[in-house]
Structure 1
Amino acid sequence: MKIPTPHIGAKSVDEVAKTVLMPGDPLRAKYIAETYLTDVTCFNEVRGMLGYTGYYNGKRVSVMGSGMGIPSANIYYYELFSFYDVESIIRIGTAGGMQDYIGLRDVVIATAANTSSSIVKGKFEEINFAPTPDFGLLIKAVEIAKDMGVSYHVGTVLSGDEFYGELKKETRDKLIQYGTLAGEMESAGLYMTARRLNKKALALFTISDNADSAESSKDRETSYTQMMEIALKVATQEEK
């Protein structure tokens, strides 16, 4: 496929950095670019899925929205990896806490993504493939979070296909029993696509809701600075 692709308007691979931070919300991508990056250029506005490249602490990094759900996000993951020579994608999203010890705005670093999505299910016939991140990125994120004094948790997440789906209580209870930290909608697709293409991926989340409370869309867009800063610091360590 030639570039620009049907979904990304950048006319050259040079417009996109080797590491891309990807929130679901394009307005969060815009916020990160305007708040943290210098010498910013916009490389994508197709379908309103904003993408920017700039510099953080002297290192080049891009940030772009992915949309909601694995089918939408996988289009961008695949095109960035395959056609724009991106080496690493770090998902920076929101998630719902599933363990009672996880608080609002805590950071979750996903070691694997449980899912019933057809993107994963059935691809390997009788095998339940386990989508996992790049270990080097994972270790960097944990070390940075520890150095920052962030309240963070490391473990598995659930990538669901339906935001308003009805997970059976027995299934949810079993996931919690087996240590699943949070629920979200994209990271299984990211980890699968990265493994398929021999690229690097990591997913970080800020807990935006749990059984007792939730935050507003404006909070989700702008206030998750600790997660953003962890991802930016990981990205600058990746950039040569």
Structure 2
Amino acid sequence: MSAHIEAKKNEIAETVLMPGDPLRAKWIAETFLDNVYCYSKIRGMLGYTGEFKGQRISIQGSGMGIPSAMIYYHELINDYDVKRIIRVGTAGSYQEDVKIRDIVLALSASTNSGINNAIFNDFNYAPTADFNLILKAALYAQENNILIKAGNILSSDLYYEEDPMAYKKWAKYGVLCAEMESAGLYTIAAKHNIEALTILTISDSMVTGEKCSFEERERTFKEMVQIALNICED
């Protein structure tokens, strides 16, 4: 056991898919995996291991925001020897051509978080995804006629901005959408030399005001999960 995950050492696979919502973790595990078992329920942050096409895969909730997610990233890597983490989450669009239910591959993750300032002081570190996972995801999407967008995203510490138009500055510089975890994932993955990628489904739009329902956020968005699962082969 680690401090926040009650799994035994061999109960977590080397590849872990990580939604923020633990109920989405449950849905993914029960919908896509065979021979599934739940290895952790601590703090309601559910974790599961099963098989997809004969390969062991784990699904672990991370909670919302970099501080919560970093706890699970750290323990998975350091206590359970995880080698590949793929975040599967939702995001809010910052661009007119990035629409509800579009899939985004996060090539890099800008952030307003102070996490990397604490590490690099006055320097700006650019957290980026693993190229091999990006390539696999793009090829799988192309071969299966799944439309994707790829580019820079924002990992924000703020879900509710003081200024509702603040997103426009990020949008002006090409940021596709906002979520809350990926800059932390890409930074810790680089430190420990593991593979990491974030695949997002657009659940709402700052541009149009459209929003998906809570049920859609929790139990749909199958294409992003299919991409993630099908790029996990070693």
Q: TM-score range by the shorter chain?
A: over 0.9
Counterpart check, 1:155 vs 2:151: yes
Q: How far 1:57 moved relative to its partner?
A: 1.1
**Distance in 1, Cα, partners of 2:133 & 2:163:** 31
Partner of 2:101: 105
Task: Select the residue among 22, 25, 48 that pairs with 1:29.
Answer: 25
Partner of 2:61: 65
Partner of 2:211: 214
Q: How far 1:122 moved relative to its partner?
A: 4.2
The unaligned stretches of length 5 or more in structure 2 are none
**Distance in 2, Cα, partners of 1:20 & 1:31:** 15
Q: Percent identity?
A: 49
**Distance in 1, Cα, partners of 2:118 & 2:22:** 31
Aligned length: 232
Tell me if structure 1 keeps the 8 A contact 2:94–2:168.
no
* SS across alignment from 2:217: helix
* SS across alignment from 1:127: coil
Partner of 1:204: 199
The unaligned stretches of length 5 or more in structure 1 are none
Letter in 1 for 2:69: A
Partner of 2:15: 19
**Distance in 2, Cα, partners of 1:109 & 1:195:** 18
Shifted more, 159-168 versus 132-141: the winner is: 159-168
Q: How far 1:167 moved relative to its partner?
A: 4.9
Cα shift readout 1:37-93 (whole Å, capped 9, x = no counterpart): 001111111111110110111111110100000000000000001110100000000
Task: Select the residue among 175, 179, 185 that pairs with 2:180.
Answer: 185
Tell me the C-alpha RMSD between the 2 structures.
1.2
Counterpart check, 1:96 vs 2:92: yes
Q: How far 1:165 moved relative to its partner?
A: 2.3
Task: Select the residue among 111, 118, 121 that pairs with 1:115.
Answer: 111
Letter in 2 for 1:233: N
Cα shift readout 1:160-206 (whole Å, capped 9, x = no counterpart): 0011123574x533321221100000000100111111111100100
Which ranges of 4 or more aligned residues in structure 1 deviate by more than 4 Å?
none
Counterpart check, 1:172 vs 2:171: no
**Distance in 1, Cα, partners of 2:98 & 2:181:** 20
